[in-house]
Amino acid sequence: MSDFISSGWALYVSGIVIASIAFCVFILVVASNRKPMADDNTTGHVWDESLREMNNPLPRWWMGLFIITIVFAALYLALYPGLGSTEGTLKWSSKGQWEAEQAKAAETMKPVYAKFAAMPVEALAADATAMGIGERIFVNNCAGCHGSDAKGSKSFPNLADKDWLGGDGGLDYIVKTIAEGRQGMMPPMGAAVGTPDEVKNLAKYVLSLSGGPQSAESQLGKEKFAACAACHGADGKGMTAMGAPNLTDKIWLHGYGEPFVIEMINKGKTNVMPQHATRLTPEQIRVLGAYVWSLSNKPAAKTAMLSAQ
């Protein structure tokens, strides 16, 4: 891959661009030649006994457009990046333009976010403007994984319920998660549990914790649960500090059923929530966090909104 970012490719691209423009100039010079190639102003080529190819010059308007095109290309390459790695005299770049637009937008929105800075989460959830901004930020940055309704899908958490893996679901926790991201890891445990039958029994026991059928196999799997208790707790209710999910509820992030649980025990799982601190400003993250908080606290958000009215 390093071959594609070496300086040699910049020279290669520059050479092709300059050669193309030079060839266009050559064609223009050749085409502008008005000298007859024969006494009757033809090229000397004859088809079908009487059809002769004339040597008339190109129309002036066509020649003018050709010249304008070449001049425009030369000026463009002098002003903007186009010759390999050269920046151009204007020093323009798409990244620079994007950064300038972001800075201008941030400056425009500064008074709006300044108003939100001192507001508690309940007040933010009651503010229609804040929630409108938060929703748009969510759709642009979060909906691709969590869905436009924030209810997630397999392996992508539902943000509209009260089940939080690594915290209490408060604004501070949500803001920290958005800014810094999260990584959840369930190590492969099949070898530690034992034989395939023992893994199967453990899966039956795990399912029984959340209301699944009780059986002799599930009771056999109970003693094997000791390998899981370090993270999920002896009662299977999970540990928030470790981000270990509660196995006694009916919320299954990666699929419900014996095959899914067996696969999880054998193969483990790594889930990554990317950090957004480099994409969003702290003010945007706080408003987004308040919007996410409102999704799982609808009664409190509704009460605050009614009080605000």
What is the predicted pLDDT for the residue at 45? 79
What is the predicted pLDDT for the residue at 152? 93
* pLDDT block averages, 10 residues each, the chain of length 309: 65 89 89 66 80 79 90 93 86 91 89 90 93 96 95 93 89 95 92 94 94 92 92 92 90 92 94 93 94 86 55
Q: How many CB atoms lie within 10 A of CB 207?
A: 22
Question: What is the C-alpha to C-alpha distance for residues 74 and 71, in angstroms, rounded to an integer?
Answer: 5
3-state SS assignment for residue 167: coil
Question: What is the C-alpha to C-alpha distance for residues 131 and 139, in angstroms, rounded to an integer?
Answer: 12
What is the predicted pLDDT for the residue at 202? 95
* Residue 252 contacts residue 239 (beta carbons within 8 Å): no
Beta carbons within 8 Å of 67's beta carbon, 6+ residues apart: 28
* Residue 273 contacts residue 162 (beta carbons within 8 Å): no
What is the predicted pLDDT for the residue at 300? 60
> What residue ranges define each of the domains in the chain, with the CATH number in brackets?
2-79 (no CATH), 98-181+274-308 (1.10.760.10), 189-267 (1.10.760.10)
